[in-house]
Amino acid sequence: MSGNLSAAGVEETLKDFWVSRPRRPHAGRKIAGVAAGIAERYQIDPVIVRVAFVAMALCNGAGVLVYLLGWLFLPQEDDEVSAAESLVGRGRSATPAPLTVLLGLAVLPASGLFVDGGFTMVGGLLLSVGAIYALHRGRGALNRPAPSPEVSPVDTADAPTTRVTPPAWDPLGAAPFAWDLPEPTPTTPPVPVVPTRPRRRKSRVAGATFGLALVVLAGAVVASGYSDWFTAPHVIGLVVATLGLGMVVGAFRGGGKGLIALVVPLSVAGVVMTTVSFNDWGDSDRYGDVSQRPTSIADVREQYDTNAGTVDLDLTGLPSSGAVRTKVEVGLGEARVIVPPNADVVATCRADFGSVDCLDKRSDGKGPDERVRDNGPDGEGGLKIELDLRAGMGEVVVSRG
């Protein structure tokens, strides 16, 4: 950059960022090379950039949107222009045009047009833009992409020769200074000395961070008995924050990169738990599996529920007469009920997103809803069962035993 970058205005900094924007490398990439390109451009550890993307993804998907925009507008290291610019005919890009169109379509739901991003997503976007601006303002002079050198053809028509012409008084070229002999070549080439790399000391950051995360998890579980704040999403957030802190420390001291294998699935679980509204399924405070097999009508509860897990209800042990009515509600997981072979069943099976199999009436996708009245192979009469099964995200199954 010309001039002092720290004194440049916002407009000049943004223009310079676009001119010298990061290029997505082929080596070291995990998905499309956006994080690796930013890290390489500004000479920072790529783990820090990936942790930042994961953290912004927790802001209602702001990190996903920024990553998609980087995929579209940051060119690869051997391309003329970015994928988006290539689509409008401004140059060559190795990204296929159909993939570019799909990425552009993916930006729409990621930007919150179809999902209410709210203030959290806007805040995440502002933090991302501010971080990139500050990074370029402080480190934009490092590792700037060099312009492609222009190679001009060499004209050797008038090139001077170095051949020495013997003087007129020495036509045989006997004078030593007129000799044009080849340089002697060494008989044995020198053996290159390969320097030995010092053995790197194994870092203890990963082990120490994992141990600290276990301590945080145990403390949060104990504290959940005294405070309602320590819900499953909050506990996962504390663990992810601990692991992320360890990755940042490892980026400066070496090590800790293996922690990303724990951060990513836990972050996904945290996003699911914060975006899926489990409160729609009543006042259940239960997490985990529920398995019941009542043997009398009095043993059948009015409702079986769990926020996340599987509810297995086996009603085949009930007597052959009487009437039973119960509900099964699952936030995230499976709801399975087995009824006797000859019972008269009226069942309502619903899910916000997932699949429904209600006595062999099946549907799946978004909002499957099946209502069934089945008196069994012996016809009407005998035990009467009325079921109401609902799942927020997962599977609902009613079958005969």
pLDDT, one tens digit per residue, over 298-321 is 999 999 998 888 999 999 999 999
Burial class (CB in 10 A: 0-12, 13-18, 19+), 359: buried
Cα–Cα distance measured from residue 163 to residue 160, given in angstroms and rounded to the nearest whole number: 9
Q: How far is CA 398 from CA 95, 319, 345, in A?
A: 47, 19, 10
Residue 229 CB neighbour total at 10 angstroms: 10
pLDDT per position as a tens digit, 43-74: 888 888 888 888 777 777 778 888 888 888 99
Query: Cα 48 to the chain's mean position, in Å?
Result: 14
pLDDT at 6 over 80: no
Contact 258, 280 (CB under 8 A): no
Max alpha carbon distance in the chain (Å)? 135
pLDDT value of position 292:
93
pLDDT value of position 1:
46
Q: Given the structure tokens 């819900």, which residue do they identify? A: 231
Tell me what percent of the chain is helix, strand and coil, each rounded to the nearest 5. Answer: 40, 20, 40
φ/ψ of residue 305, rounded to 5 = -150, 160
Residue 385 CB neighbour total at 10 angstroms: 23
State the pLDDT confidence band at 329, using cuts at 50, 70 and 90: very high
